[in-house]
Structure formats: C-alpha cells, structure tokens
Amino acid sequence: MGDNDGVDEFASAHAAARDDRGDSGASAQVGRAARGGQLTARRVATLIWALCLVIALATFVLLAIGPGRVLPSDIFSGVGGVSFLVLAMTFASVGALVARRVPENGIGWIFLLTGLANSVQLLTWQYADVGLHATERLPGATAAAVFNTVIGEATAGLLGLSLLLFPDGRLPSRRWRPALVSLVVGMALLVLAGTLRPGRYAEPFAQISNPFGLAGAGGVIDGVDFAGWLFVIAGIGLGAAAMVIRLRGARGIERQQLKLVLTVGSVAATAAALLMVTWLVWPTGQLQLRIAVLGLCFASVPLVAGVAILRYRLYEIEIVVNHTLVYVALTLILAAAFAATVVLLGTLLGRGSGWATAAATLVVAAAFRPLRARLQDAVDRRFNRARYDALRRVADFLEDLRSGRAAPEEVEGVLREVLSDPTLELMFFLPESGLYVDARGVPVSDHPDAGRERVPVERGGQPLGLVLFDPASQENPTLLRHVVEAGGLGIEIARLHVALRRQLAEVEASRARIVAAGNEERRRLERDLHDGAQQRLVSIGLALRHAQHELSTSSPERASHTLDGALAEVALSIDELRELAHGLPPPQLDAGLGPALRELARRAPVPIEVKVPGERFDPGLETAAYFIACEGFTNAVKHADATRIELSAGRVNGKLVVSVADDGVGGATPVAGSGLSGLSDRVAAHGGTLRIESDQGAGTTLTAELPCGS
C-alpha cells in the first residue's frame, strides 16, 4: 500500500505551499517552483480522478452484464454495487476538487486515494465474481480475487486517516503521530493477513484457495489479522477523538467545518448503525437495497467534508442542517407523544378512538411551539455556537445595561465585536425630525457607501435605526439579523439617549440664541441712545450756545428762532426716548401681570378684553408672559386687522397659560427671524410650549404654556 508515501507526499506539498505563502522574500525561482508544483498536483489529481472514473465505468459495465445472483454474501451486486460505486466516485470527485483547489490540504489526496481504493476494490470484486462464475473463466479472475482479498480489509484504515487529518490535512499536533502510526501499521498488518491467510477464500470466491497462503500458519495469521483490526480501530477512534478535540479548540471557519462534518457524520453513522441492526433482525430480503442506502449514507460524509473544506455555501448548509436537526427531533418527539396519548387514552377509555386522537392532536398542537423553541436553543447551543455565543454576548450586554455597568452607547461596539466587523455603523432614527444620526447625535446619510449594506432596525413596528455593514465580513447574514433583533432594547435605549442629547443641544442652542438676542437688544439700545438721544442733546446744546452767541452779537429775534428749533429738538428727544423704552419691561409689571396688561390694553387702538387674576408669579415668568402677550397683541393689531382682542393669563394645571385671541384674518405662521419665531424661543427658554391656531379667516389664537415650578 502506498498510503504512507501518499501522506508524506501531501506533507511535502503542504510544506512547499507554506513556504510559498510565508516567506515573501524568497527568490522568484522558489515561487515558480511552488507554482509549478501546484500545476503538477492539479494534473495528478485530475489523472487519479479520471482513473477512478474509468474503473467505475468498467465496474458498472460488469455490474450490468453480471450474473445478478443474490447470495447473502453477494452484497456488491445490483443497486448495492451501484451505490458503492457512487460512494467511491463521491470520494474521488470531492478529493479531486479539493486537491485541485487546495493541493496543500492532504484531505483531498486522501479522499482521492479512498475513491481509487474503493473503486479498484469494487472492480476486482465484480471482475472476480463475474470471471469465476461465468461458464468460461475469464483471464485474471483469480488474480482479481486475490488482489481484492489482499486490500479488502485494509481500506477501512483510510477512514481513520480522513478523520485524523480533517479539515486542514495536518495532525492536530505532533502528539497525534502515534495515531497515524497505528493506522499505517494496522493497515499493513491487514494486508499481510489478507495475503498470507491459508486455505480457501470466503464467498463468493470460495472456489479459490489462496496461492500465497502459509500452510499451517492459520492461527498466527488470525492473530495478525486481529492485531491489524485493533490498530486500525484504535486509529479510527483516535481520529474521531481528534475531531472532537479540534472542535473544542476551533474558532470561526474551522469550527463550522468540523461541526458540519461531525453533525452529518453522526447522522450517517447512526443511520448506518440502524441498517446494521436491521441486518441482525432481518438477515435476508432487500439486501442490495439496504446496502444501497448504506452506501448513500456514507457518501454524504465526503460530500459534506468537501463542502466544508471548499467553504461552498457553508452557512446555508449549516442552516439546513440546523433546521433538519430541529425538525427531525421535533417530529420524533411529537410522534411519540401522539402515539403515547392515543395508546394511553385508548386503554383508559377502552373505546372512542376519535376522542383519543383529538386529545393527542391537542397535546401535539400545544407542545409544538414551546418544544420547538427548546429544541432550537439546544441545537443552537450544541451546533450553532457562533449564533449562540453572539446572542449570549448581546444578552450579557443588556444585563450590564440594566444594572448600569454598561452605557447604551456601547451597543455599536458590541455589535462590531459580535459580528466581527470593525467598520459596522449603527445609526439612529429620530422620528420627530425624520433624521438619521450617529451615536454623537450628528446627522448622517442613511445611504450606504459602495460595497456596504444596510439592515433596518425595528422594534414593535417602530423604526429605530439602521445598521450599515460590510457584507464581506458577514459570512452568515442571518446572524446579523438575529443579533440586531436581540439587541433591539439596547439600540432603543441608545436611541433615546441620543435623542435626549440632541434635544439638550437644541435647548442650549436656543439659550445661546436668547443670550445673543439679549446682547443684540442691548447693542441696539446703546446705539439708539448714542446716535439718537445723545446726539440730539448735543445738537440742542450747540443750538443753545449759538443762541447765546446770537444774543450777544445780533438780534433777539434770531436767537428766539434758534431757541424754537432747540425746543422742537427737545420734543423729538422725548419721543425718541419713549420709543426706546418700548421693548423694556414696563414699570407696571412691578405691580403684577394684571396691571401691566391692563395698561397695555389702555394704549391699544382696538378694544382689548383682559382676563388676568391677581395671582403673582416669578418675576422672570411674569416678564416672559408680558412679552408674549405684547407680541401676540402687536401681531393682532399690525397684521391681523383685528377688531377685538381677548387677552388672558392664569394658572392652569400648574402652568401659567397666556393666550391672545383675535377675530382677525388668521393665517399666521412663524417664519424664521419673525416675531413669532423669537416668541417660540422665549417660550422654549422657560421650558414651555407655544401653540398657534390661525386658520385662514378664523382669527388667530396664540397660546403659551409656561411651567410655574410652584
């Protein structure tokens, strides 16, 4: 057997490839050599596969023209034989694919070899069977039978090799070498025993006596055979153990690969075991069919292994496997529950199977959902570690959030970590403004850049935000959805935080605007005083000086004229000063909101009805209320063409409610920079709300609610 050489060959191919990858400074010659080696490897793989195909086709021809006798030992005839041909070709094809794609991975070569060994075994079996039982013995039929017997048992060891080296074609560590040795030694012993066992062969080659048999050494040979099996079985056992141990330490892709193969392998092994059991119970009948099922069961394992190594649709298959597991278990348990209920009730009631069936249906219906959830969780924990771990991490985060150990803003970091996408972005939707913002509250575009995808986050039908991610980093798209769903609460809290911060920023901006407006007002006053009243007084002074000069130099009439001019200036100054005082809190406000508003009403050109109780409020609040009333009143007089205005102010539900209603034209809207906009800032500064009802032609009602504090 060339197994050992084969393994060494893969190992050196692997080493060459590793050199190629690892040592980028190596000379170009080495690189070319490695590439050349890869090319050769591909050709070799294709060649072996073609050989397998030829052998399989030849075997198929033999099967088709074969005697078709159904003896208990003649299991590889008919559909059974075809099924095992399929198995051999599955190994060969998957092996060839893997060996061509990743020649440094020994698994491909082992699969190829397994396929080759199996197909050779099948061919020699069929040839010997047909050749020995035909009317005329075919040439080489004996040799085929001998060859088949020699390698027959040893091929089992190849399974151990696959287990031991999956998925990367390397031993888990150097300590696993004995397992490899055990397999190789075991296979060698089995070949030896097959070669040297004396006497006649087993059916269907019983007519041949082993030409190489060591006469009289039957006992020793049986011992060698037994030892060979011991070594091989130990090797296979160690191989299975290696897989489990690998799974425990594996992360990411390797974990998925192992999990997939282990899951499918266990299912196939269970199915095979069940078939073997039927063998014991029911030794004859549909034998070939059962063999066919067994072969196909086995064939699923190399298929899945190839998928795992080539990472072709790894996650979709995982989901299929996951669901299959859940639903198979669900079906079994529910069927058992149904049967048990029917039997139990049938026994108890003695009759009326209809009742029992109905009750059983109810039991099954009631158990379906909770049982499915349980099973899904159990399957996730065991088989879908990534999802389980991710959801676990999210749940931990939510727990930390509840107990105050984590800030809601960390949710983005948790998503990045769980989904291993450091470029993942979480943006929050603010329903009141319809904007998307990041964790700092800065508005961002919800259109992803090229090469990124978006997933909406919703909770209870309400949009919370978006997750932008790099689809290349997400090998499992369903995981993202599950994680985002699970983290919904954290995202919602973070969104509320962000919204709150934005509101605070808005309030701060509005406060700054009010301070700026105050400063602007002071500047205006200062300018009005300096440029208006003060200059006028200076010019009056100058006029008086001039009059003085005129009195001393010319006629008193001219001085009188100058003084008239100065007096006119004085009158203008008084008007100006009054204008200036407009916009400052009136002195009447010291006596309360009522007197101040009544004073305002007295000066108004239209009748104003004032309804203000005598209650006093905080002076700042009263001033605000006064100016709100003034602004509303000015709007009503200036813009609304009102003939009647109703002004009221008073405490309602712990708030000072100021309302100005007129019977004018209506249709007022707050425009930026207008009096109404300044008004809403003033109201917002007191934490209040401003409402303007102003339908066209229906008058305007302006209502401000200011919290009173007390």
Task: State how beta strands 608-611 and 462-469 pair.
Answer: unpaired
Please state the closest distance from residue 582 (CB atom) to other proteins, in A.
21
Closest CA to 234 of 286, 292, 164, 331: 164
Question: Residue 13 contacts by C-beta under 8 Å, 6 or more apart in sequence?
Answer: 37, 41, 103, 104
Q: Running DSSP on this structure, what letter comes out for residue 406?
A: S
Nearer to other proteins, 511 or 524 (CB): 524
Residue 424 or residue 540: which is nearer to other proteins going by CB?
540
Nearest to 13 by CA among 41, 32, 51, 55: 41
Return the number of the residue (83 or 562) whose C-beta is nearest other proteins: 562
Closest distance to other proteins from the beta carbon of 578 (Å): 19
Q: Rounded to whole angstroms, how far apart are CA atoms 577 and 582? A: 9
What is the amino acid identity at position 98? V
Nearer to other proteins, 87 or 533 (CB): 533
Contacts of 667 (CB under 8 A, 6+ apart): 694, 695, 696, 697, 700
Residue (222 or 520) nearer to other proteins, CB: 520
Contacts with other proteins by CB under 8 A lie at 527, 530-531, 534-539, 541-543, 545-546, 549, 569
The distance of closest approach from Cβ of residue 678 to other proteins in the complex, given in angstroms and rounded to an integer, is 23
d(CA 667, CA 641): 12
Minimum separation from the CB atom of position 515 to other proteins (A): 22
Q: Letter for the amino acid at 555?
A: S
Reported as type and span, the H/E element at residue 705 is strand 701-707
The Cα–Cα gap between 369 and 372 comes to 5
Q: Which pair of structure tokens corresponds to residue 359?
A: 């009750």
Rounded to the nearest 10°, the torsion over CA 672, 676, 678, 684 is -110
Cβ 528 to other proteins shortest distance, Å: 11
Minimum CB separation from other proteins for residue 556, in Å? Answer: 17
The least CB distance from residue 534 to other proteins, in Å, is 6
- Least distance in Å: CB of 505 to other proteins? 32
559 neighbors 567 (Cβ within 8 angstroms): no
Cis peptide before 167 (omega within 30 of 0): yes
Helix runs in 66-140, H state only? 78-101, 106-133
We find the least distance from the C-beta atom of residue 397 to other proteins, in angstroms, to be 57
The neighbour count for residue 527, using CB atoms within 10 Å, is 10
Query: Quick one: 505 or 542, whose CB is closer to other proteins?
Result: 542
Query: In terms of Cα–Cα distance, which of 81, 167, 85 is closest to 119?
Result: 85
Q: Which helix (H) or strand (E) holds 647?
A: strand 645-652
Query: Smallest distance from the beta carbon of 501 to other proteins, in angstroms?
Result: 39
Cα distances from 344 to residues 256, 362, 365, in angstroms, run: 43, 14, 18
| C-alpha to C-alpha distance for 367 and 380, rounded to whole angstroms | 19
Smaller CB separation from other proteins, 21 or 545: 545
202 or 538, CB closer to other proteins? Answer: 538
Q: How far is the CB of 408 from other proteins (least distance, A)?
A: 50
Rounded distance, CA 523 to CA 428, Å? 42
Report d(CA 380, CA 329) in Å as an integer: 13
Provide, rounded to whole angstroms, the least separation between the CB of residue 519 and other proteins: 16
Question: Which of 366/537 has CB closer to other proteins?
Answer: 537
Question: Quick one: 249 or 541, whose CB is closer to other proteins?
Answer: 541
Rounded Cα distance between 638 and 502, Å, is: 36
Decide whether 42 or 558 has the Cβ nearer to other proteins: 558
State the DSSP string of 161-201. HHHHHTTTTS-SSGGGHHHHHHHHHHHHHHHHHHHH--SBP
Q: How far is the CB of 566 from other proteins (least distance, A)?
A: 10
Structure tokens at 289: 């069919």
- Compare residues 527 and 638 and give the one whose CB is closer to other proteins: 527
> Which letter does DSSP use for residue 701 in this model?
E
Is the distance from CB of 196 to CB of 216 less than 8 angstroms? no
Minimum distance between the CB of residue 541 and other proteins, rounded to whole angstroms?
A: 4
Closest approach of other proteins to the CB of residue 673, in Å: 20
Question: How many angstroms from the chain centroid is the CA of residue 290?
Answer: 43
DSSP calls for 553-589: HS-HHHHHHHHHHHHHHHHHHHHHHHHHHBTBPPGGG
Report whether 464 contacts 431 (CB < 8 A): no
Of 233 and 566, the one with the shorter C-beta distance to other proteins is 566
CB of 559 to other proteins, least distance (A): 13
Comparing CB distances to other proteins, the nearer of 101 and 558 is: 558
* 200 versus 530: smaller Cβ distance to other proteins: 530
* Closer CB to other proteins, 531 or 564, in the complex: 531
Task: Give the CA angle between residues 383, 388, 392 to the nearest 5°.
Answer: 160
Q: Before 204, cis peptide (omega within 30)?
A: yes
